[in-house]
Homo-oligomer: A and B are copies of this chain.
Amino acid sequence: MYDGIVQELIDEFGRLPGIGPKSAQRIAFHILQTPSFDVARLAVLLTEIRERVKFCEICGNVSEQDRCAICRDPRRNPELICVVEDAKDVAAIERTREFRGLYHVLGGAISPIAGVGPDDLRVAQLMTRLADGTVQEVILATNPNLEGEATASYLSRLLTSMEITVSRLASGLPVGGDLEYADEVTLGRAFEGRRRL
């Protein structure tokens, strides 16, 4: 469609998740036509990101050091571990400012269809962390979908023999949502988990 490099840049942006051909074109032209956009900076970040970012040796969160900022923070409660699928989930939970414990990033969820089993996740590392008896509660915050539920129930069974409280994030109606538009499963969960006022 375009001469050489413009099309190449459009194609390259189009390979990123959530960017269709139209958005990719818009981005390429933005970069081309906006002098204030610091293209060199983006290029440098892209070049360096994989070298500079490692995964925290304790929890598996992204980090530029061997241990992530959360694991290094002495104010966090080491008796509480929140188990999530992905580092993005850590960021989502941090935004709530509700949780002051530590995390454990599994790196995915159990999915027989995708061929992901417990051995492909950071399950053994979790068990090692729990071995010294510091942790009192494990909050299973995997996604409320098929794979996430399967992972949570697998971990929950694995932890029954230990003297640790195991909990799961509540499912229910999203705050600000509309009952009318809730799907049956969510509405069913909301009934199941109803609380006495």
Measured CB to CB, the residues of A under 8 A from B are: 1-6, 8-9, 12-13, 15-19, 23, 25-32, 37-50, 52-53, 62-65, 68-69, 86-88, 91, 94-95
Would you call B32 and A40 a contact (CB within 8 A)?
no
Would you call B18 and A27 a contact (CB within 8 A)?
yes
Would you call B1 and A91 a contact (CB within 8 A)?
yes
Would you call B64 and A25 a contact (CB within 8 A)?
no
Task: Choose from B4, B38, B39, B47 the contact partner of A64 (Cβ within 8 Å).
Answer: B4
Residues of chain B with a CB closer than 8 A to A13's CB:
42
CB<8 Å pairs between A and B, sample of 26: A1-B91, A2-B62, A2-B91, A4-B52, A4-B64, A5-B49, A5-B64, A6-B53, A6-B62, A8-B45, A12-B38, A12-B42, A12-B45, A15-B37, A16-B30, A16-B37, A17-B30, A18-B23, A18-B27, A19-B19, A29-B87, A29-B88, A32-B49, A39-B49, A42-B46, A46-B46
A contacts with B: majority SS = helix
Bound-state Cα–Cα, A63 to B46, Å: 26
Of all A-B residue pairs in the complex, the 4 with the closest CB atoms, nearest first, are A43-B46, A43-B43, A43-B47, A9-B45
Residues of chain B with a CB closer than 8 A to A3's CB:
53, 62-65, 68-69
Closest-by-CB residue of B relative to A41 is B12
Known contacts A27-B16, A30-B17, A53-B32: does B5 contact A45 (CB below 8 Å)?
yes
